[in-house]
Amino acid sequence: MSDDMVVGIAPPSLVETVTSRLREDILSGELAPGDRIVEEQLTRRFGISRAPLREALRLLGQQGLVEHLPRRGVRVATVSETEVDELFELRDVLERHAITVAFQRVDLDLAELDAALEMLAGAVDADDSLVAAAAHRRFHLALVGLAGRWHLWSAYEPVVAKLQLYMATNLHREATERSPVEGLHRHRRLRDAVATRDLDVALRALSDHGARQFLG
């Protein structure tokens, strides 16, 4: 039986493991934007067949981290400055809409925002930029999740993933230009503004948060 015939039955845990490992390689900068992904090398590295690897690459493609090129294989995705500008604009529009919708709900559970802040604080203490980036992503996904709209969240998630790829290529610059503690304080201020349930306060805090920052 060929590898292609068993893609649909690849063990989920194996696919998830490979997806996580490759995602970490990309977001840590070990695999740089534009780098070609060679299936033969990865199947040997992970000791797996092509089926789970291709499923992992498909998932990473959905997340905007790799690109499948016709007749040229797969490479780590690239993001131009023009695309980055557009992604930040789109992120801002979606977050503002999500907060507006969220404030129309009776219940507003901030537990996931608080969990993301705790994760971010731990990353700052440990000086772990990769975990900090993941915490930023978790916070903003939770922020949009407050709206309780699945299609809104699913439209927002790939935008965040693409921006996370951009951040991965700028870790050194971000580290020299912005203090990790500053990022933590910005997120706490936004969380506290949302907790007021005052729409004007929350939207102003979102604007102050910084439209042209990575998940900042």
Topology of domain 81-209, CATH: Four Helix Bundle (Hemerythrin (Met), subunit A) (1.20.120)
State residue 1's pLDDT score: 40
pLDDT tens figures, 132-164: 888 988 999 999 999 999 999 999 988 888 887
Mean pLDDT, rounded, of the chain:
85
Kindly list the distances between the CA atom of residue 22 and the CA atoms of 19, 33, 49, in Å, as whole numbers in the listed order. Answer: 5, 13, 15
Report the residue count for the chain: 216
Confidence of residue 216 (pLDDT cuts 50, 70, 90): low
d(CA 190, CA 132): 17
Domains 3-76 and 81-209 share a fold: no
Q: 147 — phi, psi (to 5°)? A: -70, -20
Distance from the first to the final alpha carbon of the chain: 48
| pTM, two decimal places | 0.76
CATH architecture of 3-76: Orthogonal Bundle (1.10)
Residues above pLDDT 70, as percent of the chain: 86
Report pLDDT for 170: 65
Q: Where are the domains of the chain?
A: 3-76, 81-209
Q: Compute the average pLDDT of residues 57-66.
A: 88
